[in-house]
């Protein structure tokens, strides 16, 4: 059985038996991952793909998680096609820890698209 953190909002969304009030309309689901719309979208299409297994961030990945990361990227490809953003392009982002912009301590892949997204980083390096 996958490791689940009962206090993690994303674990609750990905695993309905423990979810209680933490519900979200899923746009994709398979055996390893689920996807849903971001509640604070930064683009016309902004979807989060999360594993059902609790992993805090990219730095906690283990070799046995390779299939899981592949499943997340493959789900992104399917979702991009379903949402009609694949042809013009889209962005995939993993934020890692606070300086990387990670807000929820459960690994998640952002899919952003539906318009030109511009530069990835807006801060000037000094």
Residues 6+ apart with CB under 8 A from 86: 77, 80
Residue 108 annotated in active site: yes
Phi/psi at 52 (5° precision) = -70, -30
Joined tokens for residue 42? 């930064």
Q: Find tokens 């899919």 and name the residue.
A: 111
Phi/psi at 78 (5° precision) = -65, -45
Q: Which one of 54, 106, 108, 110 is the catalytic residue? A: 108
Residues annotated as part of the active site = 108
């Amino acid at each position: 059985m996958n490791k689940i953190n009962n206090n993690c909002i994303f674990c609750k969304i990905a695993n309905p038996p423990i979810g209680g009030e933490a519900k979200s309309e899923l746009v994709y689901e398979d055996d390893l991952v689920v996807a849903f719309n971001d509640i604070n979208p930064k683009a016309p299409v902004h979807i989060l793909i999360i594993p059902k297994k609790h992993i805090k961030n990219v730095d906690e990945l283990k070799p046995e998680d390779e299939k899981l990361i592949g499943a997340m990227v493959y789900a992104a490809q399917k979702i991009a096609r379903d949402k009609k953003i694949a042809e013009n392009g889209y962005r995939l982002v993993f934020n890692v820890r606070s300086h990387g912009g990670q807000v929820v301590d459960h690994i998640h892949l952002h899919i952003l698209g539906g318009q030109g997204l511009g530069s990835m980083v807006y801060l000037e390096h000094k």
